[in-house]
Amino acid sequence: MGGQAILGVSNLSAGYGKTQILYELSMSVMRDQLTLVVGPNGSGKSTLAKAIFNLASIFSGDVFFKERNVTKLTPEEKIIIGMRMVPQLSNVFENLTVRENLETIYFAIKYPKKNFEDSLEYVFSIFPILRDKQYEKVRTLSGGERQMVALARALVAKPELIIFDEPTAMLSPALSNLILSKIREINESGVAVLLIEQNVKTALRISDYVYVLVSGRKVLEGVSERFINNFSMLEDAFFGKSPGSEFR
């Protein structure tokens, strides 16, 4: 398992307002790896994504990106240094066209217009269906296509880390598999991925490392391979049967 961590979360306690959801959570994402975070509903997975991006209240702890402490940076600043997030809900601009959805994020980061076309090409190579629909308003697209736009937005202007917050929620199994395979494709093209998912079995197959979150605490972590054949270990962790055990 080579390489250093591109994202490090150290003793993070966070929540919303005065309500605490995450309790001293520590985890990391390695470069080139697809790291998975799973857990039952309400375990704080979404809060983790939001806290990393400073969209939730951070009570204590730090977030490191490429060894730099980015805890207090605004979301806008984080995007510029190479972090991206695809939220679970309302993750596209419905009344803008596909192309405009990509433009708004691209031009917030970079200005040279010629490179935008290169970025577009990269995006369309992963999601060819969007090429034909690029001038259509997103609200006219199907659920699966919308999700593709959401993912595509994270891909422009050379991201280094993308956090996906439950990308397959509300998608059919076939579409979920498609989206997850696209995410794997993105990871293989050199982007570190932090994937938060409910769909544990499939997600496990495409990931390198997995963390299990229960009630805002890390209860289990390890290389994904180990759990693919030993699924019951994960299930136990979900239901709190073996808290705190760690495998490396």
Interface with another protein (CB under 8 A), residue from 9, 21, 37, 92: 92
Give least dist CB 86 to another protein, A. Answer: 9
State which amino acid sits at residue 115. Answer: N
140 binding another protein? (CB under 8 A): no
Q: Specify the stretch interacting with another protein by CB under 8 A; choose among 65-73, 107-115, 174-182, 223-231.
A: 107-115
∠ CA 21-46-126, rounded to 5°: 165
Give least dist CB 41 to another protein, A. Answer: 21
Tokens of 107: 């031009």
Interface with another protein (CB under 8 A), residue from 104, 172, 230, 242: 104
93 binding another protein? (CB under 8 A): yes
Rounded Cα distance, 198 and 201, in Å = 9
With respect to another protein, which residue has the nearer C-beta, 55 or 193?
55
Rounded Cα distance, 189 and 177, in Å = 18
C-alpha dihedral (60, 65, 70, 71), degrees to nearest 10: -20
187 binding another protein? (CB under 8 A): no
Contact positions with another protein (CB under 8 A) in 31-90: 53, 55, 74-76, 79-80, 85, 87, 90
94 binding another protein? (CB under 8 A): yes
State which amino acid sits at residue 54. Answer: N
95 binding another protein? (CB under 8 A): yes
Site string for another protein, 151-180 (x = CB under 8 A): --x---------------------------
DSSP calls for 81-123: TTEEEE-SSS-S-TTSBHHHHHHHHHHHH---HHHHHHHHHHH
109 binding another protein? (CB under 8 A): yes
Question: Tokens 């994402």 label which residue?
Answer: 29
Q: Are strands 19-30 and 5-16 parallel, antiparallel or unpaired?
A: antiparallel
* CA-closest candidate to residue 48, choices 78, 77, 75, 21: 21
Q: Specify the stretch interacting with another protein by CB under 8 A; choose among 2-10, 30-38, 97-105, 238-246.
A: 97-105
For residue 189, the tally of other CB atoms under 10 A from its CB is: 11
Interface with another protein by CB under 8 A: which residues?
A: 53, 55, 74-76, 79-80, 85, 87, 90-96, 100, 103-105, 107-109, 153
